Amino acid sequence: MATAARAKTARVVVPLKRRRKRRATLHVLVPSGRTIALLFAALAIAVGLYLLARESSLFAVRAVEVEGAPPALIRKIDTAVAPFRGHSLVGLDRPAIERAILGIPEVRTVRIDRDFPNTLRVFVGREFPVAILRRGSEAWLIAATDKVVRPYPLGRSAGLPRIWVPASVEVTQGASVDDTGVRTAIELLASLGRAGRELRLTNVIALNGDLTLVTSSGIELRFGDASQAALKLAVVKRILPDLGPPTAGSVTYLDVSVPSRPVSK
């Protein structure tokens, strides 16, 4: 009977201990009313401070500092950013500012940073011109992204090759040229990079998808399409020094359209 009494007592004690543990756990997990009130008060204060800073002139944009651009481009960026001066840095519409700056044809990339209390920092990456686009008596700088950067004065030497297009090709500053030959020529010139400039190219002729690069000495480098540019360039560098300048009334060329079987004359 003593054993039965102890077993009965144990059965009574166990559930009491479990109920106490649950109550203790719930007490720890559920915050008190005072804690909840303090949290809401802190949130309200934070929102209030944000709205105050957003509307206050304390953090208004007063200075714009531009990195990665020459003085002429900085002036254009200042003009694009002018409508945002006086706006608070806290609620600044950075996407709108970036769109305004990217609307400048010379700008390729832009990043905006806020330097409190009153400075807006602008970091830009410029377009890299690879050629001068010629259409009759008109000329434009054209970038590696095939975007028309700006008009270019005739008679000025930029050390860049000319890409000629017929009068029927539409050219708009800040836009790409909708011409397959131009895009192919730009792709090739961009892939050649500095090595292409060392060839002292003067003209690029695009005809039916085939590219002919003309050097300052009058030698034609017939590349075919823009594929395997690095390999074709290596072949050109190996053979070109052995080619003399063209004689009067003749054409000297190096055809590397099939780089494994170059042809020269």
Domain boundaries, the chain: 59-126, 129-264
Over the stretch 164-187, which tens digit does the pLDDT of each residue have? 888 888 999 999 998 888 888 898
Is the CB of residue 186 less than 8 Å from the CB of residue 146? Answer: yes
Is the CB of residue 185 less than 8 Å from the CB of residue 216? Answer: no
Has domain 59-126 been given CATH number 3.40.50.920?
Answer: no
pLDDT at 5 over 60: no
What does DSSP assign to residue 178? -
Say what the pLDDT of residue 191 is.
84
The domains spanning 59-126 and 129-264 adopt the same CATH topology: no
Chain centroid, CA 64 distance in Å: 21
**Of residues 184 and 120, which shows the higher confidence score?**
120
Query: What burial letters (b/e) apply to 53-87, b meaning 16+ CB within 10 Å?
Result: eeeeeebebeebebeebeeebbebbeebbeebeeb
Closest CA to 213 of 195, 225, 201, 227: 201
Portion of the chain with pLDDT greater than 90, in percent: 42
Question: Average pLDDT in the 108-123 region?
Answer: 93
Give the SS3 label for residue 49.
helix
Neighbour tally for 223: CB within 10 Å: 26
Considering only the top CATH level, what class is 129-264? Answer: alpha beta
Specify the pTM.
Answer: 0.68
pLDDT band at 52 (very low <50, low <70, confident <90, very high): very low
pLDDT at 131 over 60: yes
Say what the pLDDT of residue 210 is.
87
**Of residues 158 and 222, which shows the higher confidence score?**
222
- Mean pLDDT, the chain, rounded, equals 83
pLDDT at 259 over 50: yes
Backbone angles phi, psi at 25, to 5 degrees: -65, -45
